[in-house]
Amino acid sequence: MTIINEMSFLVGTASGPETVAASTWSPAKRGRSTVTATAELDDGVLVQRVDDEFDDGSHFAGLNVFTLDPETAEILCYGFDTYGFPPDPPGRGSWQDGELVLERTTPRGSARIVFAPTATGYTWRKDFRPGDAHEWQPVATADLQRT
């Protein structure tokens, strides 16, 4: 199995509105996200480039590299972005009720990213849970349409 079998809904370019919740890293804001994803290395890797422009003039860029863990078949996500934290460990996850759910835990806390295919693109959201907290806090959401 290749990553493209699991994530073909991400391939191509999609854009749409994005909302960022107030957090330790950012004030609440709105903007537009444009995401381009391509299959690489004989469809064994999916590379996703994220470009966000916000109404306040700020910018966020990210690069996600998805692949499959050959031992567990979990989807792995190595995320690089303008905040600069290394992707160690990668996000790990699987399909749950029609959504791709990836989680990772670092000394800063746990992050969860959820992708959900739609008829015209996909939605995604990121949540964060600091330290020993039990509740997830929203970080960002986007509703992306294929262009």
Q: Which has the closest alpha carbon to 75: 63, 89, 93?
A: 93
Q: What is the pLDDT of residues 53-79, one digit of tens each?
A: 999 999 999 999 999 999 999 999 999
Closest among 138, 146, 96, 136 to 116, alpha carbons compared? 96
Residue 24 has pLDDT above 80, yes or no: no
Q: What's the confidence (pLDDT) of residue 57?
A: 97
Domain locations along the chain = 3-146
Nearest to 80 by CA among 108, 33, 47, 36: 47
- pTM of the full structure: 0.89
Q: What is the pLDDT of residue 134?
A: 86
The whole-number average pLDDT for the span 93-103 is 97
Q: Which two tokens mark 14?
A: 């999609």
Higher pLDDT: 107 or 114? It is 114
pLDDT at 45 over 90: yes
Query: How buried is 108 (Cβ within 10 angstroms: 0-12 exposed, 13-18 middle, 19+ buried)?
Result: exposed
For residue 25, pLDDT over 90 is answered with no
Q: Is residue 23 classed as helix, strand or coil in its secondary structure?
A: coil
Contacts of residue 125, defined as CB under 8 A and 6 or more positions apart, other chains included, come to 113, 114, 138, 139, 140, 141, 142
d(CA 72, CA 128): 25
* Helical H segments across 8-142, by residue range: none
Assess if CATH 2.40.128.20 describes domain 3-146.
yes
